[in-house]
Structures are given as structure tokens and as C-alpha cells.
Amino acid sequence: MDRRELLSRVFEPHPASPGVTRYTNAVLRTQDNEAVKFYDDLIRGKQCVINFMYAECHGSCPAVTQTLKTIYRELKPRMGKDLFFYSITIKPENDTPAALKHYAEMRNVDLPGWYFLTGDPNDLKTIRYRLFNMDHPGLDSDLALHSGYLRIINDGRNSWGMAQAFASNRNILRRIAWQDPPKSYAERVIESRARQILIDEEVKKYGYRRDVMS
Amino acid sequence: MPKKKAKDRQGVVEKTEGTISRRSVLKIGAVAGAAGVLAPNMLTSNEALGFQQTIAEPVTCANGQPSPPHHPFVQNFAAPFPADDHPLNPQPTEFANLGAGEADRAAHPRWAQFAPAHFTYDVSAAPGLHTFHPDFSPTYLWTFNGQFPGPTIFGKYGKSGIVRFRNNLPVTTTTFGRNEITIHLHNGHHGSESDGFAGDFFGTGFWKDNLYPNVYAGIDTFPGNPGGDGVGNPQEKMGSFWYHDHRAEFTLNNNVLGLNGMYIVYDSTDPGHENPSAGSLQLPGYYGVTDFPIELVDHRFCATANGRTELVNAAGGDKFIVNGMLQPKMTVRRRKYRFRILNTGPTQTYDLTLIKPDGSVGTMVVIATDANFLEHPIPVDAGANAGNSNSTTAPIVPGGLRVSVAERFDVVIDFAEFPAGSKLYLKENRTMFVGNPSPDPLPPGLNIGNVLMQFNVVNREPWFPVDTPPIPSTLCTYPTQPTTDNTWEWQFVLVGGRFRVKRPFDTVGCTFDPDHSAHCMLQGTTEEWLLNNNIASGWTHPVHIHFEEGRTLKRFVNGVEVPVPPLHSGRKDVYRLEAGQGALIKMSFRDYSGRYLIHCHNMAHEDNFMMVRWDIVPDQAALDACVADQQICEAEMLAKENYREEVA
């Protein structure tokens, strides 16, 4: 992140954000063994994509990690600035920060803005419950149930959504974009006008628009 | 506190309520300035950005408390105000007019055929205050043109219409709604760019033109009809449509906040008046006089610190609202009336009965199901016609008319048999919280908490329209459906706590993916779809299919075929599947190609993505491309299985 951006960037939570009452402020550790507060440091005012995994997993976790790695490339300019990936372990007893560091390095995903998190098992259970709560004790205690989902949060606009981790990359990117910070009216007007010029050219040339799907 | 400060604060409130404050005008200027240009048409399109300053958002209120009490039969029942037909500036265009602030969309298909539009409506989604009952303070809602329910929009077959939906919702909101909208006309026959596809939502400050050609299906096979009804097969006539927000993930929230209304289309059989005219069925037909929508919704209210009575975000309220009123009274003359009953949700199913003064169940003659006339009117009562209850399970309420979310039933009630001074009641099976006794003695066995509205019968005054002739025994003939090209199955399931739509070959099911179609078909084909709610989960799934009306060929309960109940035998677009029920329906896909949806209309379910996209494609090449890019819903389950093995 360049210095000017760092200084000018203010992560403002939405006035209606439930804050720590939903997300908790549990202290977690990153793959670099930094202590972070879950709400204050990771969620507050930011947009993030959260999944659950563990390092020794050989089934779906590497596949989800691979998917995230692919979409990371698309989102690179924003990563670590206003968009973050959090991969939270469900086996904190095995996954020390060092183990997660190893996992991340091995898969070439030790990247800016992508944190692998571990912490107190009960804290992680609470967080998992808060993010994927289905009000069903049996389902909520099933560790396997959330492996296929990504929770997308934007605390700055108090919104959250979900994506299926095995949907197409195009779909996941769209789901993330659905929670993007709203562009200002001015920005959208500028975009619209630029787009209008393209439309006019295409319509003039072909008689129809080629860039829109049916 | 110093006196002056308090006064100032008061002044601010007065100045900003209802007008665009100077500050907000300056803000608009600043925004436009930031865009580098100050285009007048841009400001016109978004003039109501000023709305954002005028109405303070609600303060949070505690959940779990009953609503405040209210006094029954205080308000006079009325139809929602109609929308004004007025010219649009800038003119509607075939291609999206992004430069003037329109949201991006595909070009309007059949533009040369249906433009310029005969009707144009300018409808703005913006915050508004609505008083549900005189006992309540105003309630903050998201409204269309400031009114709740949304203004009734009128159309006529053969005359195309364009509705410009503007998004003037707040830029930031602390309400439970989402300030992005995509308006679906349920269940119009038009291009998919005007269909309010759930992924096509647009943000604050923008607008979008929806082109509603107001044509019968079968445009190319029926080039023209007498009586000015335009093209298409008149047997495909529909009347009572409704429009509502369809924003993916937030349909429930935005509809609870008020973004819905009625859309009524007339033709020569149902011309919107009662005078004899060529082809007219002469049904009660003066809107707001003898023809009323009954738009049902349930809400929970709370009195908040800001002096308003606000909505609590809870699906399943304890007050049942009729046309934005609470237990209104309606003065009816001794003649026939038409009611277009619509359940706007968000989740609950109504069981309605008409209660006569002696406490027995009266007759409601159903003339249309989901906007389509029945071939023969079907009376529903507790006596000889009790079997006309429209459920395949055991009778729920004798003589009850079951209305799940988004279903419409047009009924005619004849008040001529009751002497002046009689009071009848529309009863709902569930009980609401009233908190005050009825001012009038109720018929035996009727609890005030079950009353939706009261009918006071009076003699017809000389100025009031005379009664219409008896309802014709034949209202229409159903179109003959072509032979079936393909069969298909959709199952509505709950897997791992998540609502899904499952195709024949899926093991898990699909959630909503705006980018991929779950089923592709060629334009002009006819398919039989088996809709199945085959989990005895207790959930009712009112399954809605966009764009085309279907006929129910068979009904099933737990896989066993049962006779099709009379009220499911007509043309419909919402197929109510109670636990374990199934329906085999048949429909043709004509006239347009594009993206459409099938989903459960319980809005809590569709927001949890019990919804998939299906596509109509124009030719074989497009079909191949569509199939190649079809939604894949399997991988997730496979991965999950791997994962589960490892965790265990």
C-alpha cells in the first residue's frame, strides 16, 4: 500500500453495523504470528471474503484455496487495501501460525491482504457460528457444512453476502462485487458516459450492441 | 438545554420535511461538479436525490414485542391511487441511455413493433411516510411515488407501455433494505431486459425503462385482433399483474419496506367499465368503485423514540394489512363487486373466508387465478362448493380461499342478497393482535383478531352504478397447447439447511447464479415441467415461473397422483406446493429469448437462493453455447463429501 493511500484511507464502519456484537473482537493470530482483533483489525469498515479451512486438509480446502488464488489475481489492485481474504482454521489445535505460514508458502498464497488465522478454539467456534449461523444446533456444529461457502462482508456498507466456493470464478467475482463499496454518483455517471460512447459506436457500426449478454 | 438550540432543531425538521433543502441542492451541485460536468438532464433524472435529506431513517426498535394496539373499523377501505400516465424526459430509447442516467441493460427487443409506447409512467422508488392506522404515527417505508401500496399502473392490450423506474432510495441506509432495485412485473410477457431479473439491480440515482408491450402471448402467430386488442392469442389474456422489487438476496427486505404495487391490464372482454360493449363480459369493473385490489401483507410495528411507529424487520408480523390499512371498513352497495386478492408476502399464506352476518361462510365466486380468467367461474363456500377449496390436502378452512405469496385470485362477491345494514367480514385463519374490542357486535364464532376487513351493506344510491348482469357461465376458453417437446423436473429441497432448486441430474441442487443458466431451451418449444416439493419439511413453496403461464396437468401428494383441485386447473404462474406436493405443468416458451427465473416466492426462500435462472435461446447455435455454459451445481457437494470424510 503506498504511503499516501495508507494515510488517506479511513475504514469507517456503517452506522448500523452490529460491530463486535455480531463479529466478536476475539484475538486471533495470523500466519506471521501477529495478534489481531477480529472486528477492530479485520472487519471494521472493510470488505472481506472469509472461508474456513485447515492445513492438513486434502479434499476441498486446497480447491477453495486455489479458487481464491485465481480470483485474487483479478482483485489484486484492491487486495490488502480495502479488500481482504481471511482463511480461518477449524483445527486450531493443529494449525499454529507456523503451520499456516507453511501452508500459505507451499501454495504460493502468502500474499498481501490474505490472512490465515488461528486462535482459541472456542473463539473460532463462536466466529464460525456467527458467520454461518443456521439456527440449527446439529447443522451448526457440523464442521463440514461450511466448507463450500465464502462469506463476503462489507462492514462499510453493513452488508453481507455469500458465494459458493465451487461456483465459477465469474460468479464468485460478481458476488464479491455485489458487496463492493457503493461508487459515488459522480463515479457512476463518469462510467456511464464512457460506456455510452462505446454503445453509440457499436450501434452505429453493427446496428446492435455486442457487449451485453442476452 | 438552551432554548434557542431546541428551537433551531425544531426549525430544521420543519424545513427539511417534504421539501428539498438548500443544503441537499448544494450537495447535488457538488456531486455534479465532481463529475466534471453539470448536465441539466442528469439533474432532472435524479432530482429526487434531494429526497435523501428529507425523511430521517427509522431508529432501531426492539424485536419480540407485540405491535401497539389499534381500533378496528376506523379507516375507510380504498383502492391504491393509480399512477399518472405522463411523458418521459428524456425520451425512452431502444438501447440503454447511459449518458442520461439509465442503468445498463440489453436493448429492448421488438422495439420497432412496440415503440413509441402508448402509456408512459414515471415511478420513483423513494423513502416515504405512510400512516397505517390513525392510532399509529407515520411509518418510514420505501415507496413508489411516495405511496403505499405502490400506485396501481394501468395498461391495455394492444397499447404498449413503458414504466421508468427510478431509484431514489437513500445513498446510505440504516434500514434493513438494500438501496438497489430491479423491478419485476409479475407475470408479464415481455423481454428479459424488462423482467426485473434478480441480478440486474441498479443503484441509487439511476433509472431504468421497462418496456411492457401489453400483448397476449403468441405474438407472431396472431398478427392482429379485433377490438384494438393488438397482437397475440387473446386466449392468453391476463388481467391482475403486480410489480415488485426482485433484488437478489434482498427481495424480502425491500418488499417488506413497501416496494410493490398492482398492474392491471384491460382488453375488450374486461374493459375496465361496466357498459355493454363488444365482447365485454360486463364484470364489475370500475376501479376503486366496484373493482378493488386487496393487497395483503403482514407487519410488526413498534413505537420508536423518534415519535414514529416503525416496522420491525420480522417476517411474519402480527398485523395483517389490507391496501396499507388495518382492519378498514368498506361501504358496499347491494350489488356485485370484484376484488383482486393479492398476497404480497413476504412469507405467510392466507386462508380467507367471507363471513356472513349469521356467522356462516358466504360465497366468493373466483373468476380468475393468477390474472388468468377461469373457463367457468368457480364458487367457493362452506356448503356445496366446499370441495372447491384450492388445496390438494384435506380442507384447511371450510370454504377457505388459500392464497400463498404472489398468488392472485379475482373474486366476485354479490352483496345483493344481504339487506341494508348487514355487516360481512373477510376472515383470515391466523389471528392478529388487535388490542381493542370490535365496535360492532361480531357474528357468532368470529374473533376480532381474525378479521381483515368489514363490509357494510347499504342500498344503492341513484348515482351509484347499477348492478352488472350475472357473471357469464363461460369467461374464456383456454388455448390449446402444442405437443410437448421436452420434459423436465425441478425439485425444491432443503439440503444442509440451505434452500436449493434441484434438476433431474443434480445430487444437491443449485443456488442462484446470475451468470449461468440452469436450463436452456429453444424459443418456440413446449415443455412439461414436474415441480416437486418432495421433502415433507412442512414448508410451502409457492413456485413462480417468470414470463409464461402454464396449465397444471397433474397434481401429486407424496408421489401419488391426486385430482387437480378446481382452482389449480386454470392457467397460473404460481404453483403452490405444500409439503410433499408436486405438480406437472405444461407451458410454451414463445416470442422472446433471454434470461428468466424459476423460484420459490416465499421471499425468505428466494433470498436464500431457492431460485435459478433458465434461458430461452433463439437458435441451435445459441442453445449449444447455453448448454456448454450451463450452471454446475455438483462440485460443491463432491468437495463437501471429501471434506466430511477427512474431518471425520
Instruction: Establish if B271 belongs to a structural domain.
Output: no
pLDDT on residue B529: 97
Q: Angle B457-B459-B462 (CA atoms, 0-180°, nearest 5)?
A: 140
Tell whether the model's pLDDT for residue A146 goes beyond 50. Answer: yes
Same domain? A163 vs A189: no
CA distances in angstroms from B504 to B240, B241, B256, B615, B633, listed in the order given: 33, 31, 34, 17, 12
Chain A residues 117-176 within an 8 A CB cutoff of chain B: 134, 136, 139, 142-145, 147-148, 157-159, 161, 164-168, 170-171, 174
Instruction: Establish if B169 belongs to a structural domain.
Output: no
Tell whether the model's pLDDT for residue A166 goes beyond 60. Answer: yes
As given in the structure block, the three cell numbers for residue A77 are 489492485
**For chain B, how many structural domains are there in total?**
2
B203: nearest CB among A139, A161, A182: A182
Reported as a single tens digit per residue, the pLDDT across B360-414 is 999 999 999 999 999 999 999 887 777 666 665 555 677 789 999 999 999 999 9
The interface predicted TM-score (ipTM) is 0.83
Reported as a single tens digit per residue, the pLDDT across B218-236 is 998 888 777 788 899 999 9
CB contacts of B604 in chain A (<8 Å) are none
Same domain? A202 vs A116: no
B98: nearest CB among A174, A178, A193: A193
Instruction: Establish if B521 belongs to a structural domain.
Output: yes
Asked if the Cβ–Cβ distance from B101 to A164 is below 8 Å, we say no
Question: CATH number of the domain that A8 lies in?
Answer: 3.40.30.10
Distance to chain B for A27, nearest Cα, Å: 25
Instruction: Establish if B582 belongs to a structural domain.
Output: yes
Residue B233 CB contacts under 8 Å (≥ 6 apart), including other chains: B216, B217, B218, B221, B222, B479
B643, B644, B646, best to mutate vs chain A, most A CBs in 10 Å: B643
Same domain? A103 vs A187: no
CA distance A94 to A57: 11
Asked if the Cβ–Cβ distance from B174 to A14 is below 8 Å, we say yes
Same domain? A56 vs A90: yes
Instruction: Establish if B105 belongs to a structural domain.
Output: no
Same domain? A20 vs A84: yes
A192: nearest CB among B36, B99, B643: B99
Instruction: Establish if B214 belongs to a structural domain.
Output: no
Instruction: Establish if B491 belongs to a structural domain.
Output: yes
Residue A194's domain comprises: 183-214
CA distance A64 to A165: 6
CA distances in angstroms from B94 to A195, B108, B208, B647, listed in the order given: 16, 5, 12, 55
A147: nearest CB among B95, B97, B643: B643
Same domain? A209 vs A150: no
Asked if the Cβ–Cβ distance from A185 to B107 is below 8 Å, we say no
CA distance B458 to B464: 11
Burial A48-81 (b: 16+ CB within 10 A, else e): bbbbbbbbebebbbbbbbebbbebbeebeeebeb
Angle between helices A185-206 and B22-34 (to 10 degrees): 50
pLDDT on residue B303: 85
Residue A210 CB contacts under 8 Å (≥ 6 apart), including other chains: A202
Instruction: Establish if B561 belongs to a structural domain.
Output: yes
As given in the structure block, the three cell numbers for residue B74 are 376506523
Query: Chain A to chain B, count of Cβ pairs less than 8 Å apart?
Result: 137
As given in the structure block, the three cell numbers for residue A116 are 490465515
Work out the percent of chain A whose per-residue pLDDT is above 90. Answer: 45
A59: nearest CB among B102, B497, B642: B642
pLDDT on residue B536: 57
User: Under a CB-based contact definition with an 8 Å cutoff, are residues B455 and B322 in contact?
Assistant: no
Same domain? A205 vs A139: no
Q: What is the mean pLDDT of each run of 10 residues along chain B (648 residues)?
A: 40 35 38 37 40 70 82 96 90 91 91 93 93 94 93 95 93 87 96 94 92 94 82 94 95 94 96 93 96 95 86 82 96 97 92 94 94 94 73 64 94 96 95 94 95 97 96 95 94 79 84 90 95 78 95 91 90 92 94 94 89 94 92 62 48
pLDDT on residue B15: 34
Helix H, strand E, coil C: the string for B321-334 is: EECCEECCEEEEEC
**For chain A, how many structural domains are there in total?**
2
pLDDT on residue B23: 40
**pTM reported for the whole predicted model:** 0.88
Same domain? A214 vs A109: no
Burial B82-104 (b: 16+ CB within 10 A, else e): ebeeeeeeeebebbbbbbbbbbb
B51 vs A150, which has greater pLDDT?
A150
Average pLDDT over all residues of chain A: 85
Same domain? A152 vs A187: no
Reported as a single tens digit per residue, the pLDDT across A49-100 is 999 888 887 777 788 888 899 999 999 999 998 899 999 998 999 999 999 9
* Dihedral, B610, B613, B614, B617 alpha carbons, nearest 10: 180
Distance to chain B for A28, nearest Cα, Å: 22
CB contacts of B173 in chain A (<8 Å) are 16
Same domain? A135 vs A193: no
Same domain? A191 vs A142: no
B562 touches chain A (CB under 8 A): no
Same domain? A210 vs A113: no
User: Under a CB-based contact definition with an 8 Å cutoff, are residues B258 and B150 in contact?
Assistant: yes
A195: nearest CB among B46, B104, B617: B104
Residue B47's domain comprises: 16-52
CA distance B148 to B129: 9
B98, B611, B637, B638, best to mutate vs chain A, most A CBs in 10 Å: B98
As given in the structure block, the three cell numbers for residue A18 are 452490529
Chain A residues 184-213 within an 8 A CB cutoff of chain B: 184-186, 188-190, 192-193, 195-196, 199, 203, 208-209, 212-213
